[in-house]
Amino acid sequence: MQLTGFNGTVALVTGAGGGIGAALVKQLRDSGCTVVATDISAPVFEPNSEQRTPVYTLALDVTDAKAVDALVAKVEQDIGPIGFGINVAGILQFGTVDTIDDDSWRRTFAVNCDGVFYVCRALARVMSPRRQGVMVTVGSNAAGIPRHAMAAYGASKAASAMFMRCLGLELAPLGIRCNSVAPGSTLTPMQTGMWADETGEQRVIEGLPEVYKTGIPLGKMARPEDVANAVMFLLSDQAGHIVMDDLYVDGGATLRA
């Protein structure tokens, strides 16, 4: 099945500087989208002689509501109407509840939850009059299962997942679809930065009973492209009747759909 609905559409991606975000930018570009790729510093992408459509790279701090509003307005004016909005920006702060400090807690929510709210609110305001558009947030399977020393991360991702469902309920009557993707352990710098040595990947696959973490039944970790594939499906015409969903892409690690 060939996914359709991308050619000529302007797609705004946050957290595009690496990992899942960078993989998604490539797939959107190759599918014919005009991509606006943002991160805390403007992302850098290697030139591609086969590039069919442009990729605009801009710096954006998603925790700054005014900056988000200004960027959306600039894109709408200078590039074109935004048809797709994808939130990938996210941070991970470790710490048990009794040790995590106030700033770390607030920063985690500022990026993972407030940032999603600011971007989606700005997009809802421009998409609603047009009565079309799709928004997808890349969350985490940590939103649906407790993780040791990850209360801030899990709680912020759970909040953003429910926000996307509520947003989807509000905007569905206008023909605007809102969904989430919940990756598990994925081969990105966020994941590999947690490993103490070269056995880290195998330990994640097998499970970490000392912190009550199940393994991955599929027997392998996700690649950024695996998660980007799921996002692409939810953006496509073929997902045209899917709204308020939270698609888990974790190889069965949370033992749920």
Q: Which of 3, 102, 101, 21 is nearest to 60 (CA)?
A: 21
Task: Tell me if 53 sits within 8 A of 33, measured CB to CB.
Answer: yes
- Check residue 139 and give its pLDDT: 98
- Check residue 191 and give its pLDDT: 76
Q: Which of 255, 157, 158, 154 is nearest to 214 (CA)?
A: 255
> Which of 56, 118, 153, 248 is flagged as catalytic?
153
Residue ranges of the chain whose pLDDT lies below 70: 47-52, 193-196, 257
Please, what are the domains in the chain?
10-249 (3.40.50.720)
- Check residue 49 and give its pLDDT: 57
- Check residue 53 and give its pLDDT: 79
pTM here?
0.95
CA atoms within 13 A on the CB side of 24: 34
- Check residue 196 and give its pLDDT: 64
- Check residue 193 and give its pLDDT: 66
Largest CA distance in the chain: 53
Q: Is 56 assigned a catalytic role?
A: no
- Check residue 195 and give its pLDDT: 67
d(CA 177, CA 244): 8
